Amino acid sequence: MTTTRGLEGVVATTSTISSIKDDVLTYRGYSIQDLAERSTFEEVVYLLWNGELPTTEQLCSFKRTLAENARVPDELFTFMKKYPLDYVHPMAVLRSAVSNLGIYDPDAERMDKQSNKDKAVRIQAKIATLVAGFSRIRKGLEPVPPNESLGFAANFLYMLKGCTPTEVAAEMFDKALILHADHELNASTFTARVCVATLSDMYSGITSAIGALKGPLHGGANEQVMHMLEKIGSIEWVDDYILNALENKKKIMGFGHRVYKNGDPRARILKTMAKKISGLQGDGKLYDMSVKIENLIKEKKGLLPNTDFYSATLYHELGIDHDLFTPVFAISRTSGWAAHIMEQYNDNRLIRPRAEYNGARLRKVAPIDQR
C-alpha cells in the first residue's frame, strides 16, 4: 500500500455533479460564472438534483414546494431557547437541529428515490429557517415565520432581520448561495458520502457534513477571515499585521487552495460583488483592507484568495453576524450534499479505505505482575 496525506490527488469516486478542471468549476457542465450571471439559487438546486436546468413550469413548481416546506417544528425552536445562548456556536446548534429534524420526519428511514428527493427538499427548505430562527432567539427575539411569496435568498434575509431585503441585497445573497452550492469532493461532501455509503439516512449524512464543515480549515475559514479583518482594524495596519504573521509562520485564512493552482474562480466573482455591496451599503473600509491583504499575500507568498476571503466582506456588508458565516455556507452547500448523497445511493459501495500501520511490532501480552 502507498499512503497519501489528506488523500491529496487520490480519485475516490466518479460523479456527474460538479467538476474542477483547469481551474474551471462547473455544475452539471455549466460554468459557475454562467450560472451566477444567468440563474437563481433555486434553479441551481434543481440542476444539481435533476441533472438539467428547470423549465419555467418546473421552476415555479419547485419554488412553491420549497416555500411550502420551509416551516420547522415548533419544538426545535423551544429546544434552542434552552441552549447556553451566551457561548454556544451556531454551527453546533445547526448540527443538532438538522439531526433533530429527522426525528420529526416519518419518512426519514425510507430509502427509495422519491423519498430521498422529498427529504432533500425538506432539509433544504428548513435549514434556512433554522439558521435565521436561532439568530433571533439568541438575541431575545421570536423567529420570523417564512414568507412564501419571497424567493429562497430573500426569504432567508427576511427571516433573519424581520423586514424584506432590498433587491440588491437579495440578488447578492442569491449569487453567493450559487457559488457555494457544490464543490466536487470536498471534505464535508466526502464525509456525507462516507456516512450514507453505510446506507444510513439522509439526515445522518447532512448532519455528518455539517460537522465536517464546522472546522476552520473548511467552512469556518470565512469567519476566521472576518476575525482577522477586525483585529487589523484599519488599512494602515495591514502591512504590520500580515508581515508579522508571515514572519511568525501563522496561517492567513482565505488564501490558497489544494485544487486550484491559478486562483479560485468563485473568489473573483465574490470580489466584484464585495466591491459593489461595499460601495452601496458600506464605507468600503473592509473591501479596501481585503484588496491590500490580497496584494501583499500574492507578493510575499504567491498565494491567491479562495472563496472564503471575499465572502467575509460580502456577508458583513449584508448585515449577517460573523459567526453565522459558516451556517450560511451550510444553507447553500446542503444542495450539493443532497445531490451527492442521492448519487451515492444510486450506485453505492461501502467506502472503506485502508491505513498503513506504523505502530509497534507484533508482541505478546505479559502477565500483569510482570509489566
The CATH architecture annotation of domain 32-166+182-216+323-346 reads: Orthogonal Bundle (1.10)
Pair 152, 128: CB distance under 8 Å = yes
Write out the catalytic residue numbers: 257, 308
Tens digits of per-residue pLDDT, 66-96? 999 999 999 999 999 999 999 999 999 999 9
Q: Give CA torsion, residues 274, 280, 282, 286, to 10 deg.
A: 20
221-317 CATH: 1.10.230.10
φ/ψ of 20, rounded to 5, equals -125, 105
Question: Quick one: what percent of the chain has pLDDT higher than 90?
Answer: 85
Query: For residue 329, how many other CB atoms are within 10 A of its CB?
Result: 27
pTM of the model: 0.94
The predicted structure's pLDDT at residue 217: 82
Can you read off the three cell numbers belonging to residue 364? Answer: 505478546
Tens digits of per-residue pLDDT, 341-361? 999 999 999 999 988 889 999
The predicted structure's pLDDT at residue 14: 94
CA distance 320 to 211: 21
Question: Nearest to residue 341, comparing CAs of 152, 128, 111, 177?
Answer: 111
- Which of the pair, 131 or 221, is modelled with greater confidence? 131
Burial class of residue 290 (count of CB atoms within 10 Å of its CB; 0-12, 13-18, 19+): buried
What are 26's strand-pairing partners? 19, 31
Pair 93, 80: CB distance under 8 Å = yes
Locate CATH 1.10.580.10 in the chain: 32-166+182-216+323-346
The predicted structure's pLDDT at residue 283: 79
The predicted structure's pLDDT at residue 261: 77
Q: Is residue 32 over pLDDT 90?
A: yes
The predicted structure's pLDDT at residue 282: 67
Locate CATH 1.10.230.10 in the chain: 221-317
Look at the alpha carbons of 80, 84, 86, 88 in this order and tell me if their dihedral is positive or negative: negative
Pair 269, 32: CB distance under 8 Å = yes
The arithmetic mean of pLDDT across residues 239-258, rounded, is 90
- Which of the pair, 52 or 251, is modelled with greater confidence? 52
- DSSP per-residue letters across 306-337: -HHHHHHHHHHHTT--GGGHHHHHHHHHHHHH
The arithmetic mean of pLDDT across residues 298-319, rounded, is 92
